C-alpha cells in the first residue's frame, strides 16, 4: 500500500521564496497546492513515489533526489557518504575491497585507502543500529542482505 505524506510549508512575508520552492518541488514530482494559511504551501508525496528508491528496514534512500531518511527523518550525508551508501545498497550481499570501492564508487584509480575506512565509519555512525555495512576481514566491505520482507531497490 502506498502511503501519502502531507507537509505544510510556511514562508510568511516572502511570496517569491514560496513560489521558487513550489516550482522546484513540482519539478521533483511533488503535488504542490496553496495551503490553508496565506503564505503557505501544501506538499503531498507518496512515500514510494520515486521508482529507484532503495529501502532497507528503517533506511530509505532516494538516489535521484539525493535524500536519505532514517525512520522518516532526513539524514545529512556528504556527497561521498551518499555515493557509498547507494552503491553498497544496490550491491547487497557483495563484498568489495577498498581499492574497488575507490574505483567503482568515486572513480579514483589511486587514492588513500583510509578514505574508504573513514567514510564507512561515518556512515555507520550516522545510520546507527540500522546500518547493514559488514566488514569481511581481509577482504573489504559490503551491505548485508536484509530479511525477505524488506524491499530491495
Q: Where are the domains of the chain?
A: 4-46, 54-143
Q: What class is the 54-143 domain?
A: mainly alpha
State pLDDT tens for residues 93-141. 999 999 999 999 999 888 888 999 999 999 999 999 998 999 999 999 9
Going by DSSP bridges, is the β-strand pair 67-70/59-62 parallel, antiparallel, or unpaired? antiparallel
Model pTM? 0.65
H-run or E-run covering 32: strand 31-34
Going by DSSP bridges, is the β-strand pair 40-46/31-34 parallel, antiparallel, or unpaired? antiparallel
Burial class (CB in 10 A: 0-12, 13-18, 19+), 127: buried
> What cell was used for 74?
532526513
Report the distance separating Cα 83 and Cα 122, nearest Å: 13
Report the distance separating Cα 38 and Cα 3, nearest Å: 27
Amino acid at each position: 500500500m502506498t502511503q501519502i505524506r502531507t507537509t505544510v510549508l510556511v514562508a510568511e512575508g516572502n511570496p517569491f521564496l514560496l513560489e521558487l520552492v513550489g516550482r522546484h518541488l513540482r519539478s521533483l514530482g511533488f503535488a504542490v497546492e496553496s495551503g490553508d494559511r496565506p503564505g503557505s504551501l501544501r506538499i503531498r508525496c507518496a512515500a514510494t513515489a520515486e521508482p529507484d528508491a532503495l529501502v532497507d528496514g528503517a533506511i530509505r534512500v532516494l538516489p535521484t533526489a539525493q535524500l536519505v531518511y532514517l525512520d522518516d527523518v532526513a539524514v545529512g550525508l556528504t556527497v561521498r557518504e551518499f555515493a557509498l551508501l547507494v552503491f553498497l545498497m544496490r550491491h547487497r550481499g557483495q563484498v568489495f575491497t577498498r581499492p574497488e570501492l575507490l574505483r567503482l564508487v568515486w572513480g579514483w584509480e589511486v587514492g588513500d585507502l583510509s578514505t574508504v575506512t573513514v567514510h564507512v565509519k561515518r556512515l555507520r555512525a550516522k545510520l546507527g543500529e540500522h546500518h547493514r555495512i559488514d566488514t569481511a576481514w581481509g577482504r573489504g566491505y559490503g551491505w548485508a542482505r536484509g530479511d525477505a520482507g524488506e524491499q530491495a531497490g
